[in-house]
Amino acid sequence: MLISVNGKPCEVRAETLAALLAELEYEDAVVATARNRDFVRRRDRAQTAITEGDEIEILVPKQGG
Amino acid sequence: MQDSREDPWQVYGATLSSRLLVGTAQYPSPKILADAIRASEAEIVTVSLRRESGGSGAGQSFWSLIRELGVRVLPNTAGCHTVKEAVTTAEMAREVFDTPWVKLEVISDDDTLAPDLIGLVEAARILARDGFQVFPYTTEDLGIAEKLVDAGCEILMPWGAPIGSGRGLNNPYGLRAMRARFPDVPLVVDAGIGTPSHAAAAMELGYDAVLLNTAIAKAGDPVVMARAFAQAVEAGRLARLADPMEPRDMAAPSTPVIGRAFTAA
């Protein structure tokens, strides 16, 4: 299934957001997620289905001003 | 003598002794970042959320470093140009950083990085209703400031000058008017400060604190500059408390005139 992850095309097997994080090896990382520009809470990731063409953002803590 | 360290200020129920808030971006290395934050004596640092880059795990090690410093974090919505982007980013930041605080930026123009004041008020309303404690990056516009306070903001953060410009306080008159209009709302000059004298000037205007990043991070020696800012902020605060003299148009001798030599008795 072809989706977009952080703005880049990405071919994935995962069918949920939680599975996608595991597939992309973010499992142990502190991240925040959004699907199609809507925030997805940590506890909702396992129930959040991923479908063809989805735009997923996976963000991490970074330096800021 | 009055010590500004025994002169705390408060925002959203937090009591703070440092009046310097610093950003964490653009430092030459993580070690210099950590040393500069310690030297600044800041109790609040700003952070952001971004896509991972520069090697997997860079974001995680940054976050570990900040946690080790034991400071409060103020996540920003930097770079957001719409209400929707800012609200979603704030929601993501609240989960990752485990804080209701958010430095709300809705940017209208890429050359000035000026805030989109209409979007800012709308986003502040949405976030405050959702339990966020909003620190709005705004201008010295008093009408907008009233709307932000009505929306639930318990602090206002007008710019001194465009973000990263280091130009200091472009509109001291506007900042003074804001201080006079909102005597009981914590006010922080956020953005545009380039040198410690700019920070001292903001404190002399009666601002409760200043927030800056580039001025320390891009100094030749960020750690020494962080110390300089800590001292300037304290000096400016003490000056405000000490009630400065009014400027005069004419000279007035400070040395006594009476008893001067070579005059008629």
The Cα–Cα gap between B205 and B240 comes to 7
Distance from CA of B248 to the nearest CA of A (A): 39
The Cα–Cα gap between B3 and B237 comes to 10
Distance from CA of B168 to the nearest CA of A (A): 16
Quick one: what percent of chain B has pLDDT higher than 70?
97
Question: What residues in A contact B46, CB-CB < 8 Å?
Answer: 64-65
Q: Which residues contact B178 (CB under 8 A, 6 or more apart)?
A: B140, B142, B145, B156, B158, B187
pLDDT at B1: 44
Distance from CA of A49 to the nearest CA of B (A): 19
Residue in B44, B45, B50 to test binding to A, most A beta-carbons within 10 Å: B50
ipTM: 0.94
Q: For the beta carbon of residue B259, count every other beta carbon within 10 angstroms.
A: 7
Chain B contact for A43 (CB, 8 A cutoff): no
pLDDT at B37: 98
Nearest by CB to B24, which of A25, A38, A63? A63
Q: Which two tokens stand for residue B240?
A: 């405000």
**pLDDT digits (tens), chain B, 265 positions:** 455 457 999 999 999 999 999 999 999 999 999 999 999 999 999 999 999 875 567 788 999 999 999 999 999 999 999 999 999 999 999 999 999 999 999 999 999 999 999 999 999 999 999 999 999 999 999 999 999 999 999 999 999 999 999 999 999 999 999 999 999 999 999 999 999 999 999 999 999 999 999 999 999 999 999 999 999 999 999 999 999 999 999 999 999 989 999 988 7
pLDDT at B54: 56
The string of DSSP codes covering B112-125 is T--B-HHHHHHHHH
Q: Is B147 a catalytic residue?
A: no
pLDDT at B59: 81
Instruction: With a cut of 50, say whether residue A23 has pLDDT above it.
Output: yes
pLDDT at B6: 78
Continuous H helices in chain B: 30-40, 58-69, 83-97, 117-129, 142-151, 172-181, 196-204, 214-217, 222-241
Question: What residues in B contact A39, CB-CB < 8 Å?
Answer: 88, 91-92, 95
